Structure 1
């Protein structure tokens, strides 16, 4: 008997995951190419976050690991342990994957895929997969810009950083790793008026704003000073001479809402830092305001983390 399949939809710009329309099964893939100690943790967390922030239930995670010929067994054990840590923290089963030693890479390359599902029909259960903002809606950011990269840099370049900053200050930045999971704030926002959600990761907050605008098909105007950022991030970025707004920012979410202040208040009431940073607007201009200076947002560039971690 011939099986008939419905046409499946691929991932759209700014959605970060694809889905099967006949089964409402979704997937999101996240590669980690930065030479970071906890790369497996961040690859898995990013893949899970991409599913969760769309209102989809994660089902399992698989991981592909490409190792260079000089890699030792201990390196693989560390990667797998980090992947398991991320899955345990998010409450998502780790379903294994693929490991290969190849001359095609000169250091480990980790790719995590999270598969999720939405039960019932699209009318019965709302997801944010097809949700997008529109002109006039406020833009809200939860947590802080550069959160993920700050944790990576603080751990991997610890000895360099403590030559300038007190060790307790850098220790605090290392613990930012504990805040990159976005499950709780996504759940709060979905009940508090968020109309679209986008996770900030590769390319940082600036890239996420560009993608949010592109997905909405309109422009935006954002106050740079309103974008939340931790002092640890500012100091570490000054040390390495990198832009904090173009750094991996996993752990931060961008929302659009008709009432941005109400959404931000709802997040803050749950202990989740949040701020209204601007608005989507008619036209195509993507404007960043910094005090009296106004400039246009550039297309996403290579993430600044690679200037330090390769």
Structure 2
């Protein structure tokens, strides 16, 4: 079938032709700027490429002015730890002995609301390819999920599909899911957040970057064929009316094939091992438009691409559609001519579709794309990939912030026993086993800690036992109360979760989820969060290795809670020495000790949420120097048998989670924690950890903490009673486990995927 394209020649002779640029998301001034760059009106293909590459998702045009603060604040010492940092597909850290680790987290929020299974599944696929593009083998995934109220009808639709999509794709890839977070809040109704994280390993010398270099080198597209899925608004260019193009309107959410991606992973690793790849880029958001323009813009010449060579699933596709398609499981590589035969051989061995679609030219900063024998795009790739408009959006502290931060007091329960049961059974704190049991945690045999752990711990070197620990955290409630403090609390918790395993934090990543950047309140929240995270990274001496921004997360005019997810990666020399989280696991009596100060801090707390107190006050105070003292404590030879951070839900939740697996009991002595038992049990003060140690080591542990300036108080010794006793209040661990375990199965147990359990 003949495909009719709008060509460069035609564009030059029809300057006044009206084009649907507004439907593609371009503003009037942006469209005029494109015309100025080209010296004429754009072709359909050019309009498509500029529209997707200048979108908020690809260009960061509203966030870039604030994100530059990361570059302004990072020190030379911090940046020296990175092999690749902000601006690359993923951050890469040298961890010694010739080994490197890469990790990144990215959002797939809106697609996961439209089509929960495929939206979440392709979110996993996309982040895995980001890791592959660095020359690494993906070794694990994690997920950060946010949904509306747990009992809301639409949450029943979205959550099971998202979880099934994450498990279905990740399990099929053979990647362990080593942790994550699931949060419920009214603000996420209609706009769930699905943030996917992936970790990969590589040898330092195997690092790959996205650039097209070397005149005459070939551009190779390999992986799945290109189809009409994931195109979205570009379908406007495919027909005169929506009715005429109805048969072309496949879902705007991409469709994933994890088995094709598994073949692609192994194919890429073989290609890297064979040394036949000069530069590489994955095809995710904006598809071939992004891959070709970014490779060309980062190179030392130009690029010429022939779309006739692109393997298609639909031979009626226009140039605009081929360029904008977000079909999954595709990569684009630059290969020297003498290595093309070997490249093809490896792709064929793995049954991966491959095609030579172009070559690097000596036309500096020129991208030329043809289709049907005619030129459909002729533009400087730097203007596509790097020169999108940068907006200085207005921002201002919201007029309602003072009222929100006003302390309204905390209502203490008349029945403490009932309150503690309600807390552990609340959707905020209850067991996530219903979700995580649908994921394979132990495939590949290198998972050291995952289920119920503070951080996921993986072995990466079977000879030395070296491993990594990864955690990602955020409380949107804290961040709405104070965006600057909220993101620092997220950093502090992720950092603390890593150090309690015995690992040393080495890098930070982030996924910044916010409402509309056109709202000055939201932009103020965003700016405060960026500055809080960047400054916190400098204080801790750990580089931010990369990140992601997701804007326009709102339902109508109501934005989500500002949700800057912060991930921290740490290195542990020998995973055999990793500290576990179960108290009483040895079977012998153990003393539990609280490290850190406890204050009356309930702003944004889970107690405030569960008791119906809404959201008000200030979040807990956080001093990152206190977190670093904890890191020094766990890096020393303190005789710690187990450790668990104290965060949302407070001390009682931490103690319960430490004892639930061993079913040990304890009589809590809170006199050294806080004079008020309610505050001691449920306050969410930061920089606190509960450690378990053999009773004859307790004094030494407390003394070591004192040497580092860390307050420490013994709160009791484990026993065989199976009860947690606080004064007159007695709860059995068994009844707490029953209450904690039942909530999500009761809400979602009937849903599709509920029985897809991987033990």
1:77 paired residue number = 160
Q: Secondary structure at the match of 2:229?
A: helix
1:184 paired residue number = 266
Post-superposition offset of 1:201: 0.9
Q: 1:36 to 1:217 in 2, by over 3 A?
A: farther
Matching of residue 66 in structure 1 with residue 149 in structure 2 = no
Q: 1:225 to 1:179 in 2, by over 3 A?
A: same
2:378 paired residue number = 296
Q: 1:164 to 1:218 in 2, by over 3 A?
A: closer
Q: 1:25 to 1:180 in 2, by over 3 A?
A: closer
1:155 paired residue number = none
Which structure 2 residues correspond to residues 274-289 of structure 1 after superposition, within 5 A? 274-282=354-362, 283-289=364-370
Matching of residue 257 in structure 1 with residue 257 in structure 2 = no
What whole-Å deviation, never above 9, does each CA across 1:53-83 have from its counterpart, x for those lacking one?
Answer: 4331323211111223453245323212221
Matching of residue 134 in structure 1 with residue 210 in structure 2 = no
2:423 paired residue number = none
* 4+ long deviations beyond 6 Å: none
1:194 paired residue number = 277
2:91 paired residue number = 18
What whole-Å deviation, never above 9, does each CA across 1:209-253 have from its counterpart, x for those lacking one?
Answer: 11111232432111121122112xx56x68xxx723212132111
Higher relative contact order (CA 8 A, sep 6+): 1
Does structure 2 conserve the Cα–Cα contact (< 8 Å) formed by 1:60 and 1:116?
yes
Does structure 2 conserve the Cα–Cα contact (< 8 Å) formed by 1:135 and 1:219?
no
Post-superposition offset of 1:27: 0.6
2:177 paired residue number = 94
Q: Secondary structure at the match of 2:142?
A: strand
Q: 1:177 to 1:74 in 2, by over 3 A?
A: same
Which structure 2 residues correspond to residues 1-310 of structure 1 after superposition, within 5 A? 7-9=80-82, 11-13=85-87, 15-22=88-95, 24-32=100-108, 33-34=110-111, 35-37=114-116, 38-69=118-149, 70=152, 71-73=154-156, 75-102=158-185, 103=187, 106-118=190-202, 122-123=204-205, 126-128=206-208, 130=209, 132-136=211-215, 137-144=217-224, 146=226, 149=229, 178-181=259-262, 182-190=264-272, 191=274, 193-231=276-314, 243-259=321-337, 261-262=340-341, 263-282=343-362, 283-290=364-371, 291-297=373-379, 299=384
What whole-Å deviation, never above 9, does each CA across 1:80-118 have from its counterpart, x for those lacking one?
Answer: 222122221222110221222341563322110101223
Post-superposition offset of 1:292: 2.9
Does structure 2 conserve the Cα–Cα contact (< 8 Å) formed by 1:264 and 1:276?
no
Does structure 1 conserve the Cα–Cα contact (< 8 Å) formed by 2:107 and 2:195?
yes
TM-score normalised by length of structure 1: 0.74
Post-superposition offset of 1:279: 0.8
C-alpha separation between the residues in 2 aligned to 1:219 and 1:77?
46
C-alpha separation between the residues in 1 aligned to 2:79 and 2:202?
17
TM-score normalised by length of structure 2: 0.33
Q: 1:277 to 1:5 in 2, by over 3 A?
A: closer
Q: 1:12 to 1:224 in 2, by over 3 A?
A: farther
Post-superposition offset of 1:174: 6.6
Q: Secondary structure at the match of 1:149?
A: coil
Post-superposition offset of 1:147: 5.0
Does structure 2 conserve the Cα–Cα contact (< 8 Å) formed by 1:205 and 1:249?
no
C-alpha separation between the residues in 2 aligned to 1:31 and 1:175?
16
Structure 1 spans left out of the alignment, 5+ residues = 153-162, 302-310
Larger radius of gyration: 2
Q: Secondary structure at the match of 1:106?
A: coil
Does structure 2 conserve the Cα–Cα contact (< 8 Å) formed by 1:267 and 1:273?
yes
C-alpha separation between the residues in 2 aligned to 1:213 and 1:223?
14
Does structure 2 conserve the Cα–Cα contact (< 8 Å) formed by 1:65 and 1:108?
yes
Post-superposition offset of 1:175: 8.0
Does structure 2 conserve the Cα–Cα contact (< 8 Å) formed by 1:138 and 1:276?
yes
Q: 1:217 to 1:27 in 2, by over 3 A?
A: farther
Q: Secondary structure at the match of 1:243?
A: helix
Q: Secondary structure at the match of 1:77?
A: helix
**RMSD of Structure 2 on Structure 1 (CA):** 3.5
Q: 1:269 to 1:91 in 2, by over 3 A?
A: closer
Does structure 2 conserve the Cα–Cα contact (< 8 Å) formed by 1:27 and 1:51?
yes
